[in-house]
Amino acid sequence: MSALLRAERLTKRFGGLVAVNAIDLEVRAGEILGLIGPNGSGKTTLFNLIAGVYRPDTGSLVFSGRDLAGLAPNDVCRLGIARTFQLSRPFHGLDVLHNVAVAVLYGNAGIGAVRAAETEAERLLEYVGLGPSARAPVSRLTLAQRKRLEIARALATRPKLLLLDESMAGLNAGEIVSAIDLLRRLRQELGLTLIIVEHLMQVIMGVSDRIAVLDAGVKIADGRPEDVAHDRKVVQAYLGAKYAPSGA
Amino acid sequence: MRKRLGRPWLWLALLVVLIVFPFLEPPIFYMRLVSTILLFIVLAQSWNIIGGYTGYISFGHVTFFGIGAYVAALLFRAAGWPPYAAAVPAGLAAALFALIVGFPTLRLRGPYFAIATLALSLVVEVALANLPFTGSGEGIVVRGGMPFTRMALEQAFYVCYLALAALTVGAVVWMERSKFGYGLRAIRDDQDAALSVGVSGIRLKLVAFALSSFFAGMAGSIYAHRAAYVSAPDVFTLDISIKSLVYAVVGGSSTVAGPVIGSVLMELLDIGLTTSVLGQIRIDHIVFGVLLGIVVLAAPRGIMGLTSR
């Protein structure tokens, strides 16, 4: 399979801190890539680099043949990359339906008429299970519903690649099960490529085809979930040297 | 979401009454009063485009009003243009100026844009008060080119202001339900999230600022003829920036009806206050300040927020 997204020696510094340090990463079309690492390891910074919020200091970032360096977030969106935010960031002055309709209008759906965008937004809200809340103000939504709204809004831009930043954090067990189901459907039914950041290990191990592990801005492992889980460096990063299997 | 517009027939009936009113030849005082309210509806509603829907609080709306007034005055002096003809070039000049100054300032966030627009209005006032072609400190007389009898003159200005108010309100009604309007509100609510769904931030903000300034510039052009005299201290008075903002916010910004209701109530209040005994100590400033404070703290959605709760 060819790489949909390829990062080479990607680096981002904030003052003296190297938040993302010479990371090489490849994302293949149609795969679910899990991105894990302790707090502050650079996961969200990497997302922000891909989404165009930050400009990389060095290194290259190529998405389906296009260089992403220097593009603004709205240009990156137009190329087919959508993202959700770790803490949900809805448009509070718009109802649920129009939060999604805006994304339909300005993304890649090719819909410029408000009525048609509303119809499409309704369809997407049904898809993520928010149909009944379409006309509600955002403030009425529960945390789980807000996470779904983030996903619906991202989907509305018709992306090829979707970046999900902790879309399950804070959900209860039942909500997590249905969230996992939604992720699987995104790939199977919509053919999306996903990069997911998640702290819940059993979730990310279960849904990802491949996992990349970051620690202090450096990629320390990249491979199948079961291999990564037993990787000495990974265990060390999460639990400390004491728990790491010797040798390996 | 609630229907923001309420009942369309009510607006239509209001418009009909307003159209008929001047031709009943009412006392001049009342016609001038309604004219002035209509002027502030234009100003508050156009402020609403950038300050309400886009969330960029401007303290310098008068800049564009004043530029419009000067363009009308210059066109009159040079070629005898009447107000209705000067309105479009005056509006375009104001919009062009907004594009130029918006390019750097609309990148600012939060209070910095407010400060920049305030500073801008002061700078432009000083510039126009000292340039030779704008009559320096003497200003420009803009008399003539309009009808003859007192009544006909009042009617003509009334009709100009009414047409402009209807145009401005109509533009915002259209905007509310347009792709453009939804994009602006997305920027207002969360700029980063708006960019992430493809909204081109700076471009939309520039268009909003230009549109807002276009209407303010047109209002200025009619005002120039109304006042028959244009000088920098008159047409760049901070009062106009403050009133545009206060009327829109008290009525309810980000709604169509808010700035209309705010302009009617607040302008009546203003006239009552300034003509009262306490007018001499500028009681209107004190009351406006206190009212704005109360609204921002207790009812940020203004009068409209109270009615639709």
Rounded alpha-carbon distances, angstroms, from residue B210 to A74, B51, B64, B106? 22, 12, 10, 11
Among A79-88, B7-16, B128-137, which range has the highest average pLDDT? A79-88
CA distance B225 to A98: 43
Following DSSP, what letter does each residue of A106-139 receive, concatenated?
A: HSSS----HHHHHHHHHHHHHHHT-GGGTTSBGG
Tell me the average pLDDT across A125-134.
94
Q: What is the mean pLDDT of residues B202-226?
A: 96
Q: Which pLDDT does position B4 carry in this prediction?
A: 52
Q: Which backbone phi and psi does B301 adopt, to 5 degrees?
A: -95, 10
The identity of residue B102, as a single letter, is G
Classify strands A218-223 and A210-215 as parallel, antiparallel or unpaired. antiparallel
The mean pLDDT value for A80-106 works out to 95
Residue range A115-127: mean pLDDT, rounded: 96
Distance of alpha carbon B41 from alpha carbon B164, whole angstroms: 9
- Cβ within 8 Å, pair B182-A108: no
For A93, which of B185, B200, B201 is closest by C-beta distance? B185
What is the location of CATH 3.40.50.300 in chain A?
Answer: 1-80+159-248
Option in A72, A114, A156 nearest B179 (CB): A114
The whole-angstrom distance between A4's CA and the closest CA on chain B is 19
Share of chain A above pLDDT 90, in %: 70
Nearest partner of B260 among B44, B21, B62, judged by Cα: B44
d(CA B202, CA B196): 14
Q: Which residue has the higher pLDDT, A122 or B131?
A: A122
Of the pLDDT bands very low, low, confident and very high (cuts 50, 70, 90), residue B236 is very high
**Beta carbons of B228 and B45 less than 8 angstroms apart:** no
ipTM for the assembly:
0.91
Q: CA of B277: how far to CAs of A100, B131, B281, in Å?
A: 54, 39, 9
Minimum-distance CB partner of A77 among B177, B182, B197? B197
**Cα A15 vs. chain centroid, distance in angstroms?**
26
* pLDDT in the model for residue B135: 73
Residue B195 to residue A85, Cβ atoms within 8 A: no
> Residue B306: which pLDDT band, with cuts at 50, 70 and 90?
confident
Best probe of the B interface among A94, A105, A153, by most B CBs < 10 A, is A105
- Give the C-alpha separation, A36 to A44, whole Å: 10
Amino acid at B135: G
Å between B195 CA and nearest CA of chain A? 5
User: B49-61 burial string, b = 16+ CB within 10 Å, else e?
Assistant: bbbbbbbbbbbbb
Kindly report the nearest CA distance between residue A147 and chain B, in angstroms: 14
Task: Tell me which residue in B182, B188, B198 faces A74 most closely, judged by beta carbons.
Answer: B198
Least Cα separation, residue A12 to chain B (angstroms): 19
User: Exposed, middle or buried, A168 (CB in 10 Å: 0-12/13-18/19+)?
Assistant: buried
pLDDT of the residue at B48: 97
Reported as a pLDDT band with limits 50, 70 and 90, residue A246 is low
The tokens of B56 are what? Answer: 């960029």
**Which residues of chain B does A90 touch, with a Cβ-Cβ cutoff of 8 Å?**
189-190, 193
Under CATH, which architecture does the A1-80+159-248 domain have? Answer: 3-Layer(aba) Sandwich (3.40)
Q: Could A108 and B198 be called an inter-chain contact, meaning their C-beta atoms sit closer than 8 Å?
A: yes
Model pLDDT, residue B288: 87
Band (A229; pLDDT cuts 50, 70, 90): confident
